[in-house]
Chain A
């Protein structure tokens, strides 16, 4: 079973996001692995553990720092790592999906995993677009995948615990919302070992696609209302909250 995981390296939203012109100032942000990709890597490894095969992780190297992410994926159980030397921090989802699809074409993938979304998917997510390029069926919002023979049983989530089970004939693209088990801890011993021994295959980007969106403005959202902030020590804050709740008959 050839399992491919397409990942996205995205600006971290843990800290402030500085703006430069009409976009994020990519020079002054940290890049991290999309949180849903962490789930999709886990799901891919779980599938491999269940039915055998190899897991290949592929991503676009946005700022030349993808190696660390790929090493982590290898430490978690992926077998091969491939980076597309994009080196364009502003490459949008359309462009990334095209490059990824071209790269995956040569991998005879039986199943392709992607994170269900990323916080910078302004022009849509890469998963469904890769599926469109590869002419494979796509299901997103998936919270478990079981492969048997040449088909997969996937659970898709809607809302409020409601979901649906689908059977899909492979190959397919899956947009993972949550792996069927919480992602495993990748021992740093392993990550460091992998960093010394693993070879990361480099692929030149091929194919062009654009989002077709013209940026007019990017800024932190204009706030119409802001919470009234309680200040002071934690004890004072707690006292104010309790007082408020009592005044409203809620405590």
Chain B
């Protein structure tokens, strides 16, 4: 089809385009490789293939925003189709007589049966339409409807280019590309239809009806269509649309360690500074994240720290800022900006300290990004650099360092609740026990939670479950200390606990606190503490199954909903045991819209419960209580409405939120154990079942 001059011109342009694209790719690779090392990945090809399949079925993107995700299918499959279409178009240009319209009836050398050719034509034609449709929807959403979810809150630190609408420009370029490219290609096909309509090319035939056939048209359309491709390929390496290719790769290289195990503060074999101050202090995977980021803001949607109007934290802004920072340094003229602290370029210090480490952003991300990991690394470095800490956090850390608990209580007092029990509680460091109960700070000291702690002990005793605690030898497990970034203190606590456990004889560890559960189970092994760790909900399920506990008083008078604690649910998949227990209790169960994997954090984790300063506006826990009430409203009855938790911190957060939202009397927060105690009917010596556990 093409003339010799056209061919030479195209080859020259294609080589130039390839040159720019390769330069782009090399720049990306170089930048990623400048990151520090990440934990070793096993069997990368298999993970990549798995990721490829997930991407092909668009599994990760359907985790949220179902409608838009469906429309995104048009873009996704359309562009994949177009990769083939463009190849075929080049062949059409370069091989004389290579013409696929009408099932290939003009082909001088028919190499394929016309059925296949017709199928290809049909798919190309329909997908062109799908592409045009979906891109239009996305452009309308961004530029006309101005979907709020694509914007950031006022207090979020943004790269000046982002603030000036850099992302919109990017989207516009690609949007215009898709429209012009696809339209040109469609028109080109229409111009080829010299013999009238082709039933396998309905859209092209329709256009042919309007514009007719034209040999010049074919040439012009071909050039427009393919020049766009030559322009866009290098452009993509410099825009947010790297996610086309890096996204799936990133997904394939995603973390293989358990979710609940943070990467080491100092990467193996690296220089000794923990965490990250500058962008290339982050591991290479965190750098790659920024190229993979779709900039879709799904993570921002689910972030409890982005929830209030004045919020300063947005996990997506973090990724976007990283990306723009690198881009300015590599493709732009500001390499010096790489030497600016991340707290000035990608995330404000205030935002760094707002993260609850709830993992929602990581779980929801369609391309396997871990904004939370960046935040923790930044905290880690801020801590060693002596950044000024919130006074509450400083007090908590000071107390943890000296007393082993964050509540400034004497070590000796840790087992005080147990000494008040009528049936003695064994000291596991003095006599062997089957089960070592790791109680945790809140359950040991907080007077609002201690009654529940005693109740767990009573139920264990009633079920003949042999257990002991470590009394003053237990220290805070360190989950939140690690997430606040105080790795050294975390290590100290781990060492203390492992030493104490070394003195004890037990078969497995049981915890009531999901935070302790997470770190004991997933992180202690990194430090040589390999134990079998169970959350008490799964232990109780087993006790019921074995008949050691039985429901004597079914609780059909209660209407309950359940809040999945981040560190039991999203982190460790402990969704079924608590629900199973609720089912056994015979309560009326109402599931909140945000449940299990999508549970909404109470706002206490990652050290937030220690913070002296609280961000203004509605708090996540308050929002959650409202969600529970709305859920109950769908199913009205006069049953007593209960908000069930299984985490001591939740008890505190939600009891408080019920009060601050003025919903006392409408909904009551209870620990699962209180329901169980009531349902199984505690035998003497009885302890008060009054709900004094609720904050007074």
- Determine if B397 and A192 form an interchain contact, defined as CB atoms under 8 angstroms apart: no
Stretch at the interface among B53-61, B484-492, B618-626: B484-492
Given contacts A192-B491, A193-B384, A193-B488, contact A187 B397 (CB under 8 A): yes
- Determine if B386 and A77 form an interchain contact, defined as CB atoms under 8 angstroms apart: yes
Provide the bound-state CA to CA distance between A190 and B273, in Å. 9
- Determine if B401 and A188 form an interchain contact, defined as CB atoms under 8 angstroms apart: yes
What's the dominant secondary structure at chain A's contact region? helix
Partner of A185, one of B274, B398, B487: B398
Partner of A187, one of B272, B273, B488: B488
Q: Is B236 an interface residue (CB 8 A)?
A: no
Provide the bound-state CA to CA distance between A197 and B273, in Å. 10
Given contacts A77-B386, A196-B272, A197-B272, contact A189 B394 (CB under 8 A): no
Please, what's the 1-or-0 string for A72-94, where 1 marks a CB less than 8 Å from any CB in chain B?
A: 00000100000000000000000
**Which residues does chain A contribute within 8 Å of B383, judged by CB atoms?**
187, 189-190
Please, what's the 1-or-0 string for B361-404, where 1 marks a CB less than 8 Å from any CB in chain A?
A: 00000000000000000001001101001000010011001000
- Determine if A187 and B274 form an interchain contact, defined as CB atoms under 8 angstroms apart: no
Q: What is the size, in residues, of chain A's interface with B at 8 Å between Cβ atoms?
A: 12
Q: Which residue of A lies closest to B265 (CB)?
A: A189
- Nearest CB in chain A: distance from B360 CB, A: 26
Please, what's the 1-or-0 string for A188-226, where 1 marks a CB less than 8 Å from any CB in chain B?
A: 111111001100000000000000000000000000000
Q: Which of B317-368 contact A (CB under 8 A)?
A: none
Provide the bound-state CA to CA distance between A193 and B492, in Å. 13
- Nearest CB in chain B: distance from A145 CB, A: 20
Partner of B488, one of A77, A184, A192: A192
- Determine if A185 and B384 form an interchain contact, defined as CB atoms under 8 angstroms apart: no
Provide the bound-state CA to CA distance between A187 and B385, in Å. 9
Q: Which residue of B lies closest to A189 (CB)?
A: B488
**Which residues does chain B contribute within 8 Å of A190, judged by CB atoms?**
383-384, 386, 488
Provide the bound-state CA to CA distance between A193 and B270, in Å. 13
Given contacts A190-B384, A197-B272, contact A185 B394 (CB under 8 A): yes
- Determine if A189 and B397 form an interchain contact, defined as CB atoms under 8 angstroms apart: no
Given contacts A77-B386, A193-B272, A196-B272, contact A188 B488 (CB under 8 A): yes
Provide the bound-state CA to CA distance between A227 and B95, in Å. 108
Provide the bound-state CA to CA distance between A22 and B415, in Å. 40
**Which residues does chain A contribute within 8 Å of B486, judged by CB atoms?**
187-189
What's the dominant secondary structure at chain B's contact region? helix
**Which residues does chain A contribute within 8 Å of B273, judged by CB atoms?**
193
Please, what's the 1-or-0 string for B459-502, where 1 marks a CB less than 8 Å from any CB in chain A?
A: 00000000000000000000000000111110110000000000
- Nearest CB in chain A: distance from B233 CB, A: 45
- Nearest CB in chain A: distance from B269 CB, A: 14
Provide the bound-state CA to CA distance between A196 and B265, in Å. 15
- Determine if A189 and B384 form an interchain contact, defined as CB atoms under 8 angstroms apart: yes
**Which residues does chain B contribute within 8 Å of A185, judged by CB atoms?**
389, 394, 397-398, 401
- Nearest CB in chain B: distance from A33 CB, A: 13
- Nearest CB in chain B: distance from A162 CB, A: 30
Query: Which of B383, B384, B398 has the most C-beta atoms of chain A within 10 angstroms of its own C-beta?
Result: B384
Please, what's the 1-or-0 string for B490-524, where 1 marks a CB less than 8 Å from any CB in chain A?
A: 01100000000000000000000000000000000
Query: Which of B380, B383, B386 has the most C-beta atoms of chain A within 10 angstroms of its own C-beta?
Result: B386
Provide the bound-state CA to CA distance between A189 and B401, in Å. 11
- Nearest CB in chain B: distance from A232 CB, A: 14
- Determine if A189 and B487 form an interchain contact, defined as CB atoms under 8 angstroms apart: yes
- Nearest CB in chain B: distance from A193 CB, A: 6
Partner of B384, one of A77, A184, A187: A187
Provide the bound-state CA to CA distance between A154 and B150, in Å. 57
- Determine if A193 and B386 form an interchain contact, defined as CB atoms under 8 angstroms apart: no
Partner of B492, one of A77, A184, A188: A188
- Nearest CB in chain A: distance from B447 CB, A: 14
Closest 8 CB pairs of A and B: A188-B488, A189-B488, A188-B489, A192-B488, A190-B384, A187-B383, A185-B394, A189-B384
Interface residues, chain A, with chain B CB atoms under 8 Å away: 77, 184-185, 187-193, 196-197
Interface residues, chain B, with chain A CB atoms under 8 Å away: 265, 272-274, 380, 383-384, 386, 389, 394, 397-398, 401, 485-489, 491-492
* A-B CB contact pairs (8 Å), 21 listed: A77-B386, A185-B389, A185-B394, A185-B397, A187-B383, A187-B384, A187-B397, A187-B486, A188-B486, A188-B488, A188-B491, A189-B265, A189-B274, A189-B384, A189-B486, A189-B487, A189-B489, A190-B386, A190-B488, A191-B488, A196-B272
